[in-house]
Amino acid sequence: MTDSLPSASVFDIETFVAKLPKAELHLHIEGSLEPELMFELAQRNNVAIPFDSVEAVRAAYDFSNLQDFLDIYYAGANVLLTARDFEDLTFAYFKRIAADNVRHAEIFFDPQTHTDRGVAFETVVEGIIAGMNRAEAELGVTSGLILSFLRHLPEEAAFATLEMAKPYLDRFIGVGLDSSEMGHPPSKFERVFAACRELGLKICAHAGEEGPPEYVHEALDLLKIDRMDHGNRAMEDEALVARLAKEQMTLTVCPLSNLKLCVVKDLKDHPIPNMLAKGLHVTLNSDDPSYFGGYVNDNYIQLAKAVGLTREQIIQMARNSFEGSFLPDEKKAQYLAEIDAYVAAN
């Protein structure tokens, strides 16, 4: 009589992840520029791009390391010129993640990528904020904006960017540190991050994506981060792992990014199961979804299939994504209750 038994014991990852409420905490809005929109904006703004088709753009997304990717990513951003461009880019991202049932996103933008080619800081911020406001009104997805400094540039340039940002401080929930990691340790930015903390901004930094565990120590001790982006190479230092677990530091891990940038050779080798086993407060994120071939749900599903994540581990990381957000406690509790209701019903 086995055919009368309920078949619900088989865990269907795709179906379960699809509607699971989640937050995205590591996303570069410039990295959500899909080739189709790149072409549309290039035409609209009369900007030349070195590709003659959408397929040619996608074919160029074959990277050996972080720098390979960054060269193409900064070139792609050249098509973004007006507030409307930034609004269209931002709204397109939110529309896409609403389909993944991402309920909240805290997104990075790189102002220096734009101000250094003559686009006004105000244009960038007004456009992105307009897209975020539209997303909340039309899609019900809440969000926060994080100003990220480019670490391959000098600390003085970060200070100059912070000056530009001062009239708009209430628009930002925090600051971040991204771009080429090797040779640009967190210590290079200790003073500018101290100034940001004084201004009441939350602190994030990419650390341990390609850089050694020492950079992770510096992000904790010198920048005094509230959240760590990536953190993969922290796993090489047992005492550091124990500290991250003890402090319940949120790590915004990006599996498909790690695969595309050769941080891991194969998704099967991804450190997430080990991170979970060590009690780290990890979340799954897309980083630059247009360039890395997947949005948040793709990251959950492909990783789950590669390393064999359990339903409980998936739920835990979705919970972590709200707990590790910079939302006020009441709002976190609301979203966590959405997860509880979903889990009870599915």
Closest to ligand ADE by CB, 21 or 294? 294
- Asked whether residue 68 is marked as a ligand-binding residue, the answer is no
181 makes contact with Zn ion (CB under 5 A): no
The answer to whether 270 is annotated as binding is no
Question: Do 250 and 324 touch, CB atoms closer than 8 A?
Answer: yes
CA angle 282, 309, 65 (to 5 degrees): 60
Residue pointed to by tokens 């901004």: 201
Amino acid at 15: T
How distant is the alpha carbon of residue 29 from its chain centre? 9
Partner from ligand ADE, Zn ion, none contacting 298, C-beta within 5 to 8 A by type: none
CB 88 within 8 A of CB 130: no
Pull the structure tokens for residue 177: 């540190």
Contact positions with Zn ion (CB under 5 A) in 257-296:
287
By CB under 6 A, name the one of 100, 126, 178, 218 that touches ligand ADE.
178
User: For ligand ADE, which is the closer residue by CB, 161 or 313?
Assistant: 161
Residue 55 appears among annotated catalytic residues: no
Name the residue type at position 21. P
Select the binding partner of residue 209 from ligand ADE, Zn ion, none (C-beta < 5 to 8 A, by kind). Answer: ligand ADE
For ligand ADE, the closer of residues 216 and 327 by Cβ is 216
Question: What is the closest distance, in whole angstroms, from the C-beta atom of residue 87 to ligand ADE in the complex?
Answer: 20
Site string for ligand ADE, 15-44 (x = CB under 6 A): -------------x--x-------------
Rounded to a whole number of angstroms, the minimum distance from the CB of residue 110 to ligand ADE is 7
Which one of residues 24, 100, 106, 209 is an interface residue with ligand ADE (CB under 6 A)? 209
Scanning the chain, the segments in alpha helix (DSSP H) are 13-19, 35-45, 54-59, 66-76, 83-98, 111-115, 121-139, 155-165, 190-198, 213-221, 238-247, 255-260, 272-277, 289-292, 296-307, 311-323, 329-345
Running DSSP on this structure, what letter comes out for residue 264?
A: S
Long-range contacts of 243-248 (CB under 8 A, 24+ apart): 244/280, 244/281, 245/278, 245/279, 245/280, 245/281, 248/281
Nearer to ligand ADE, 28 or 270 (CB): 28
Tell me how far, at minimum, the Cβ of 125 lies from Zn ion, in Å.
19
Chain positions 49 to 88 lying near ligand ADE, rule: CB under 6 A, are: 66, 73
**Least distance in Å: CB of 111 to ligand ADE?**
13
Q: Which tokens is 43 given?
A: 């035409």
With CB cut-offs between 5 and 8 Å by kind, which of ligand ADE, Zn ion, none does residue 31 bind?
A: ligand ADE
Q: Which does 297 bind (CB under 5 to 8 A by kind): ligand ADE, Zn ion, none?
A: none
Asked if residue 206 belongs to a known ligand binding site, the reply is yes
Task: Tell me which of 22, 103, 206, 260 binds ligand ADE, using CB under 6 A.
Answer: 206
How many degrees, rounded to 5, is the angle at CA 211 between CA 209 and CA 217? 100
Phi, psi (rounded to 5 degrees) for 190:
-60, -45
Angle at 230 between CA 229 and CA 236, to 5 degrees: 130
Closest CA to 50 of 41, 39, 65, 40: 39
Q: Pattern 253-292, binding to ligand ADE, x per CB under 6 A?
A: ----x-----------------------------xx----
Select which of 30, 34, 126, 209 is catalytic: 209
Catalytic site positions:
209
Please enumerate, by residue number, every residue annotated as part of a binding site for substrate.
288
Residues that bind ligand ADE (CB under 6 A): 28, 31, 66, 73, 178-179, 206, 209, 257, 287-288
Residues that bind Zn ion (CB under 5 A): 287
Please enumerate, by residue number, every residue annotated as part of a binding site.
26, 28, 206, 287-288
